[in-house]
Amino acid sequence: MRLPFLLVLSLLAAINAPAAEIELTLQTRDPATGRMILTPERVDSRHVGVIAVDVWNFHWCKTATMRVDAIVPRMNEALDAARALGMTVMLCPSDVVDNYVGYPQREAVFALPQVPVPKVMEVTCPPVPDAGGCACGHERCGVNYGWDGMHPALRIGEADLMPDTQAEVYAVCQKYGLTHLIYVGFHTQVCLLGKSMGLRAMKAAGLRCVLARDMTDAHPGYDPTRNFTPDLNTEQVVEHFERHLAPTIQFQQELTKLGRWDAQKLVDPVRITPWGTPMRPHLFESDVVVTLTAPLEPGAEIRYTLDGSAPTASSPLYTRPLTFTNTTALRAGAFRDGKPVCLVSEGSFARLGPMPPVPDVFIGDLKPVRNVGFGHTYGGNVRYSGNTQAPQKDRSNLGQPLRINRAVQERGLGVHAPSEQVYALEPGYRRFVALAGVDENLVGVNNGSNLAKYPTVVFKVFIDGREMAASPVMRVLCLAWRFDVPIPEGSKTLSLVAMDAGDGSREDFADWANAGFLTRR
C-alpha cells in the first residue's frame, strides 16, 4: 500500500526531528525532616509522556467538580505546550474511558503491540492523607458516579492517546520510547496514586514518574473551624508524595523556562469553598462559612461582591472567611497593582426555610383541573414521552418509592419535568406546603453511573397565574427545597410546576413530597 505523499513527509519530519533536551527541576523532601531538596534532571522531551488522570465532567462533590473546572484552563495551556515540545499526551478518564470508543485516540491504543509489564520495584509508602472527598462543609454531598466523560473544555489533541490500564500505558511507553511520565489530574491521593494507569503502578514498572504539583487537586475536605481547606489538603498530599513516592515539578515554571507559557494570559479563577453555582447551588440550613483562595497567585488581593456584580480592584477586600446567613450571589476576583491576575469566579448559596409541617389535605388526594407532563399535548390529551407517565400518587413517576432528601417519603406526587398540575383552591386552604426535589431512585443502580449529573429541576408555585415561590436548581441527592406558601384570601387556583433548568430534561424525575394544604381549623 502506498502512503500519501504528505503523510510520508510528516513521518520523516517526526523521525528526523532534532533532540529537544530539557532540564526539569525536581522537588523532593527528606522523609524524616521534610527538608526540601531540588535536583536538576535533563531529559529529551520526546521521551516524556504527560498523563492527565480523571479530568471528569462531574463529581459527586460540587466543590470538587468546580475545582476541576478551575484547573482545566491551566491544564490546557500545559498540554498544548507539551504537544509542541514533542511529548506524548495521554488522557486517562479511567472508568469512563470506554465512552470514547470510536475516537481515534482510544482505538489507536488497541493497535499497539502488547508487551509484558515488568515489576522493577515494590512501591510502598505510609498512608496518604485523605480528607474524605467532600469540601462542602456541613452540607456534605451524596456519593454518586454521575460523570460520563472528560471535562468538556479539556482539549483533545489529534495525536493524543487514551490508555486505561497499566499494560496499555506501558505499551505506549514502549512504542514511543518514553522514560519519564509527568502526572496531572485528580484526585491526587486516590486516582493519580491508586488507579492502574496511576503513578504507583507505572513507577513499579520502571518509569520515572513526576507529579505536577500546580495541576493536581487532592480528594478534598473542608473544616473552616480549624482553617483546613482543600488547598491545604492538596499541599499536604503533595508533600507526602515528595517525601515517600515521587518528585514534583511546578509545570508552569518549567514551561516558562522553555518560553512555552504566556504569563499575561489569565487561566486561574479564584477558588471558592464550598463552591455552589447557579446550576448546582450550595443549600444550607444554618450559617455557611465561605473561604476564597488564589493559591497560584501568592500575594494577590482577592476582591468580592455579594450582589452578583463583577468585582473590581476597589471592591471589598477579602481578609478572612465570609459568613453567609442568607441566600447570596458571590463573585470574586484577584488583583495585583490594580490589575486582574485571576479569572472571576461565581458562587451561589441558597438558604433553606424552616421544615414545613405535614399538610391537612394531601395533593395526591385531589383531582387537578389541569394536568400536563413531559410529552406532546394534543387536543387536551398528553402523549407521555419514553418511559415517563402521568403524575403518580405516593410513588415516583416510574412507580418506585418517593425518594428525596435522602429518605423515602410516604406521601406525594412523582412527576417528570416539565410538568404542571393546577388545583382549585377551597376557601379553607390557608397555606401550601411541600418538600420538593429530584427523585433519588436513579442512584440505586450502580450509584447513578453516567446519569446522576443530568437531573436539574426548578420547582415553582403559582397562585392565580402569579409566581409565589420558586426553588433554585435542584440536583440529585441535594437537600429538598422547602415550600411554605401563604394563600391569599379569594384565590382561585394553585399551580405546581416542575421545569427543566435550561439544559434539557434528561432524567428530570421530580417529586413533590408531603405536598398539600394546611386548613383553617
- The 10s digit of each residue's pLDDT in 179-219 is 999 999 999 999 988 899 999 999 999 999 999 999 999 99
Question: How large a percentage of the chain has pLDDT more than 70?
Answer: 96
Parallel, antiparallel or unpaired: strands 48-53 and 88-92: parallel
pLDDT at residue 521, rounded to an integer:
59
- Note the pLDDT tens digit of each residue in 328-340: 999 999 999 999 9
Half-sphere exposure for 121 (CA within 13 Å, toward CB): 13
pLDDT (0 to 100) of residue 13 = 41
- What are the C-alpha distances in Å from 417 to residues 126, 498, 503, 512? 49, 5, 12, 12
pTM (2 decimals)? 0.93
Residue 139 has pLDDT above 80, yes or no: no
Per-residue buried b or exposed e for 57-78, using 16+ beta carbons within 10 Å of the residue's own CB: bbbbbbbbbbbbbbbbbbbebb
pLDDT at 378: 87
Average pLDDT, the chain: 94
- What confidence category does residue 137 fall into, taking pLDDT thresholds of 50, 70 and 90? confident
- Are 82 and 252 within 8 A, CB to CB? no
Q: Are 251 and 78 in contact (CB under 8 A)?
A: yes
Indicate the helix (H) or strand (E) that contains 289: strand 288-293
Whole-number Å distance between alpha carbons of 461 and 506: 22
Question: Is residue 2 predicted with pLDDT exceeding 50?
Answer: no
User: How far from each other are the two terminal CA atoms of the chain, in whole angstroms?
Assistant: 89
Predicted local distance difference test score (pLDDT) of residue 19: 54
